[in-house]
Amino acid sequence: MFLLLWSITTASIPWPYPETYQPTQRSLGIAENTFSFVGSSNPILDDAFVRYRAIFFKRCFSDPLISHSELPMTLYVTIDNVTIPSYVPHDMDEYYEIQISSGRSALNAHTIWGALRGLETFSQLINCDYTQRSFSIEEVTIKDKPRFPYRGLMVDSARHFIPLSAIYQVMDGMAYNKLNVFHWHLTDDESFPYVSKQFPQLAKKGAFQPWQTHIYTPEDVANVVHYAYMRGIRVVPEFDTPGHFTSWTKGHPELQTQCPNVRTQGRAFLDPTLPLVYSFLTDFWREAGVLFPDNMVHLGGDELGFDCWKNNANITGFMARNNIASYAKLEEYYFDKIHSITEKLGRRGIVWQDVFNNNVQLDKDTVIGVWQIEKWRQDLADATAKGHDVLLYSPWYLNMISYAGNG
């Protein structure tokens, strides 16, 4: 399931509400033919100027009246740190200030990312007069920065393939709401649409329509990451293991736990005792890291269950030889290995709360994703008490949003 986001006129009130917002109740006329931007030229800002000019003046009516009564308006955009990173950093500074007045209108930001948030706020300040088919903007002072550094939206394109055009529309909606992380749930039991050049059989045999359609090529991924980059959005991929692993095994059955005496409802599970699993995942994530430059990778870990592992003689023998006393400790063995791999690749791991709830001892640097609805407040408190950063998903599942106020 996914939600297509679009912009709705906010009656010139910025969204989300800024940290400091000082309106004056005085308005200035603004018109496309007399408005201009002035700012230091760089690819992200130049692209944003073009994009936002269309948003400013095309979102209310296609044929605004041409009036010469408005005074010319220039928005002066200045950025303190003109260095433009090659990817959106996890610690991006999104602070900006806006001053709109009849004398001079200015947007100042610490970085390009703050400038993008400020341009979005400026677009929301513009008011549409449907009677006169004209635009105005209030004289106002705004100082703003986000309360949370990670403001994400997860999209699952494994259970239901989502075309790139829809992904781009979702990202536009994220920019309109100043969300800054696109969590891309790329693989699951149902399909493996991500094309790995090093391991082509994964998509060739694991996608819904293998190899021809319903896949994301490396070029597709690069385009998504670039589209997000131009809007100040990080892209964090999720490759779910050791459960939700069925689609991986279509192309690489050698990674699978064999458990013929257990009903798995068609689900497959990774075998954490096999050395080839770790060499495979090292190569896989090294390749993916070139396409996904973000410092985080989501490693999954949800809804594992241990029945399959319990019914594999090789696994029980491995546990006995290595003094692994429980299947939760076997899961801990797996995630210790995975943490070592991702750390060497310069990536910080995210896991679903199921791993934490199984009392798996995780490195403090591991981020916990709280998604289960029953007691999310307690789960959140437990994970933070152990020193983990936490991403809260539970109250915000769009297909179950009604419970958000009941937790």
Q: Tell me the fold of 20-144.
A: Chitobiase; domain 2 (3.30.379)
Are 255 and 192 in contact by the 8 Å Cβ rule? The answer is: no
pLDDT in tens, the chain (407 residues): 344 444 444 568 899 999 999 999 999 988 888 899 999 889 999 999 999 998 888 767 666 665 545 678 999 999 999 999 999 999 999 999 999 998 889 999 999 999 999 999 999 999 887 777 788 999 999 999 999 999 999 999 999 999 999 999 999 999 999 999 999 999 999 999 999 999 999 999 999 986 678 999 999 999 999 999 999 999 999 999 999 999 999 999 999 999 987 877 779 999 999 999 999 999 999 999 999 999 999 999 999 989 999 999 999 999 999 999 999 999 999 999 999 999 999 999 999 999 999 999 999 999 999 999 889 999 999 999 999 999 999 988 877 666 545 44
pLDDT score recorded for residue 65: 61
pLDDT score recorded for residue 6: 45
Q: How far apart are CA 378 and CA 337, in angstroms?
A: 28
pLDDT score recorded for residue 401: 61
pLDDT score recorded for residue 5: 47
Q: Which two tokens stand for residue 63?
A: 């044929």
pLDDT score recorded for residue 64: 61
- 287 catalytic? Reply is no
Model confidence, pTM: 0.93
Tell whether domain 152-405 is in CATH 3.20.20.80: yes
Q: Which of 303, 331, 332, 374 is catalytic?
A: 303
Contacts of 267 (CB under 8 A, 6+ apart): 189, 243, 244, 245, 246
Q: Where are the domains of the chain?
A: 20-144, 152-405
Q: How far apart are CA 138 and CA 26, in angstroms?
A: 6
Contacts of 382 (CB under 8 A, 6+ apart): 356
